[in-house]
Chain A
């Protein structure tokens, strides 16, 4: 396995990139403006692409270069462009009715990171991964997932919910790149197309919300019909 024998330089590079992407998801959590969410998400995807390339270089997996390029193109350019088109069509620039203030959600996010650290110590001890990079990758992965869930729960603009889902997915992708870098290429491709479908579905959902409810806030969708 790659992470068992990493050079110190590689391990510090991986930690830096992982922590930078965690910080960018906190930027998304602490901001009110949809444009900020979008640029933070794009930057996070670029960092994850750089991480893939670095893992490919240090671990000797040539197919990871291809994955890095695909990540850059799909997550870093295509998905933000599609979401930007949806935002441009709407009249919404920011979250209007906040359930939770950005400041409180930042503090809750900090507690999530602590929780993730505690959990990943346990998990790493269980799987005998005592290296700091492994614990860090697990922590960043778990805390990005928790932050994604938090964004899905406390935001109710449809756009922020798409981005919450994408952050969650970015977290899993980042963790898998460091922990199990030899994942088959085909699975990566499937995941990327899944993401495209998710964004397209949300585009349809936003169109539906606009015509039937009149706003893009998902708070209007309370009644169950069926």
Chain B
């Protein structure tokens, strides 16, 4: 373990921490532009976080200790996952073998699990609705996510994301194999689900329609800022997995020089802008469905994951 590798690992976490609000800003800005509106500018999430960190904390009387630790746990989970996945470098860094793909998935889910508990903890009506809806969706999303991970594992014969990245860069046959394409499609649907961009999510901010935001309605001030930051970081991490492991495995630093890491960060912004365009196009073209059709995109994603696993068996 060299000092350079440790620094690179810290740089990965800092990249996720610093660039996550920017990606959120880019997506929101694209969305506004697609709807022919002016848009708040791509740096708005930073200003929102700044504003929230300077506000007072108001705690509901019904809240317990869970309410306090949830933002911290959620934020820490999102700080842990970037250690495990290829954000800047395509070779494993000192602590990258701490967990495999399933371990990363577990930590990501732990964050949303704590937020669901916190939504129930304050016993407010909207928190309960938000938590129950989020659980309904994640009950169906979770098995599919595991199946996608199983598919990735069977494709690369390894559970580390770095191996998948190397395999896809090395061989075009693996990149264009049906198994990989199905995995990309299945994970894209999961990406929309996990970042609240399914067709059942409403674009208007009314409590009755809320799914994920309903859980954090009771938070205020710096705690809310931590939760918002954690949610944009989760989005960033999922985009990183989607780009660097599945769809665009190029443009990572191979030797780990400072210049290479900077280039990789710039490439990340470019890739994410591309994926954000895709997401905004899908979100704009797809009409909004009623909530009780939430199972349809997830069933399609499940089906694609199963087909991907069958595809890996045939090659």
Chain A positions within 8 Å of B, measured between CB atoms, are 12, 15-16, 19, 22-23, 26, 30, 101-104, 106-107, 109-110, 113-114, 117, 132, 135-136, 139
Contact = CB atoms under 8 A, between A and B. Distances in A.
B295 interface: yes
Contact of A110 (B173, B307, B313): B307
Interface of B: 173, 178, 295-296, 298-300, 302-303, 306-307, 310-311, 313-315
Contact of B303 (A107, A132, A136, A139): A107
A111 B203 CA distance: 35
A16 B300 CA distance: 19
A147 B178 CA distance: 20
Contacts of B311: 19
Contacts of A109: 303
B299 A16 contact: no
Given A104-B299, A113-B306, A113-B310, 20 more contacts: A12-B173, A15-B178, A15-B314, A16-B178, A30-B299, A30-B303, A102-B299, A103-B295, A103-B296, A103-B298, A107-B303, A110-B306, A110-B307, A114-B306, A117-B310, A117-B313, A132-B314, A132-B315, A136-B314, A139-B314
Contacts of A101: 295
Contacts of A132: 314-315
B178 to A, nearest CB: 5
Given A19-B178, A117-B313, A136-B314, A30 B296 contact: yes
Nearest to B294: A103
Contacts, number: 48
24 contacts: A15-B178, A19-B178, A19-B307, A22-B307, A23-B307, A30-B296, A30-B300, A30-B303, A102-B296, A103-B299, A106-B299, A106-B300, A107-B303, A110-B302, A110-B303, A110-B307, A113-B306, A113-B307, A114-B306, A114-B310, A117-B313, A132-B315, A135-B314, A139-B310
Contacts of B298: 103
A113 B302 CA distance: 13
A117 B307 CA distance: 10
B59 to A, nearest CB: 41
A39 to B, nearest CB: 17
A114 B308 CA distance: 11
A102 B297 CA distance: 10
A73 B314 CA distance: 33
A106 B310 contact: no
A107 B314 contact: no
A117 B303 CA distance: 14
Contacts of B307: 19, 22-23, 110, 113
Q: Is the interface of B mostly helix, strand, loop or mixed?
A: helix
A109 B307 CA distance: 10
Given A113-B307, A117-B313, A132-B315, A107 B302 contact: yes
A129 to B, nearest CB: 13
A36 to B, nearest CB: 13
Contacts of A30: 296, 299-300, 303
Nearest to A23: B307
B300 to A, nearest CB: 6
A107 B315 contact: no
A106 B178 contact: no
Contacts of A114: 306, 310
Contacts of A110: 302-303, 306-307
CB-CB nearest 9 A-B residue pairs: A103-B299, A110-B306, A103-B295, A106-B299, A110-B303, A103-B296, A132-B314, A19-B178, A106-B303
Nearest to B298: A103
Contacts of B299: 30, 102-104, 106-107
A107 B297 CA distance: 11
B93 to A, nearest CB: 36
A161 B310 CA distance: 28
Contacts of B173: 12
A59 B303 CA distance: 33
Nearest to A113: B310
A211 B137 CA distance: 45
A205 B34 CA distance: 48
A106 B314 contact: no
Contacts of B296: 30, 102-103, 106
A26 B306 CA distance: 13
A200 to B, nearest CB: 34
A82 B314 CA distance: 38
Contacts of A26: 303
Contacts of B313: 117
A26 B299 CA distance: 11
B33 to A, nearest CB: 30
B290 to A, nearest CB: 13
